[in-house]
């Protein structure tokens, strides 16, 4: 399965593409950071992010998209920008008719490091190790996007298979009645 992971941000949006299957090591395909200028008009920044993500989805042809779920922070202005970038990221997957799954930061940290309270350095270190990279992906936004993609392969892929199996079983049971 090929997954495009997105760590949404308005100034820096991390994007990582990973291939793999649950229970097996994953393989790095590519990673990027989409930048926008903080002093630019918000509409132009969101359009740039939208166009960039659409190009990356078209280029890499993922089977699904994993986006970090926005959580409340103390800085409302930061949360608003992140939420807007998150909506654009979710829309990029939906527009391509791809399944989109969101994960909280603690879900991703737990999947990658074994601890939902791991720091950025721990996540980056584990992503580097899990993907067999010679050096850590930089900036941290790229490492976070790769962690999201790995998390989705390991957790979301399994979730999707279980849901599909349950649906198939329900259809069989309903067909017998």
Clarify whether 40 is annotated catalytic.
Answer: no
H/E stretch holding 174 reads: helix 157-176
Alpha-helix runs per DSSP H in 17-119:
42-60, 76-95, 105-113
Rounded Cα distance, 54 and 118, in Å: 31
Rounded Cα distance, 45 and 35, in Å: 9
Active-site residue (options: 39, 50, 51, 68): 68
Asked if 7 contacts 66 with a C-beta cutoff of 8 angstroms, the reply is no
Question: Hunting for tokens 């997105």 — which residue is that?
Answer: 6
Clarify whether 37 is annotated catalytic.
Answer: no
Active-site residue (options: 50, 101, 141, 144): 141
Rounded Cα distance, 159 and 37, in Å: 37
133: region left, alpha or beta (phi > 0 left; psi from -120 to 50 alpha): beta
Rounded Cα distance, 64 and 60, in Å: 11
Clarify whether 7 is annotated catalytic.
Answer: yes
Active-site residue (options: 7, 50, 101, 144): 7
- Catalytic residue IDs: 7, 68, 141
């Amino acid at each position: 399965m090929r997954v495009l992971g997105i760590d949404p941000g308005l100034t820096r949006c991390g994007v990582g593409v990973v291939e793999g299957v649950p229970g097996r090591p994953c393989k790095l395909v590519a990673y990027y950071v989409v930048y926008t200028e903080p002093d630019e008009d918000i509409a132009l920044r969101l359009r740039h992010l939208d166009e960039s993500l659409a190009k990356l989805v078209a280029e890499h042809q993922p089977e699904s998209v994993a986006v970090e779920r926005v959580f409340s922070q103390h800085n409302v202005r930061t949360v608003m920008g992140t939420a807007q970038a998150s909506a654009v990221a979710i829309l990029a997957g939906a527009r391509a008719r791809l399944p989109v799954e969101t994960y909280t930061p603690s879900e991703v940290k737990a999947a990658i490091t074994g601890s939902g309270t791991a720091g950025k350095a721990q996540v980056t270190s584990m992503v580097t190790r899990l993907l067999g990279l010679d050096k850590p992906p930089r900036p941290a936004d790229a490492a976070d996007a790769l962690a999201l993609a790995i998390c989705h392969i390991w957790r979301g892929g399994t979730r999707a298979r279980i849901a599909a199996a349950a649906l198939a079983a329900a259809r069989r049971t309903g067909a017998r009645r």
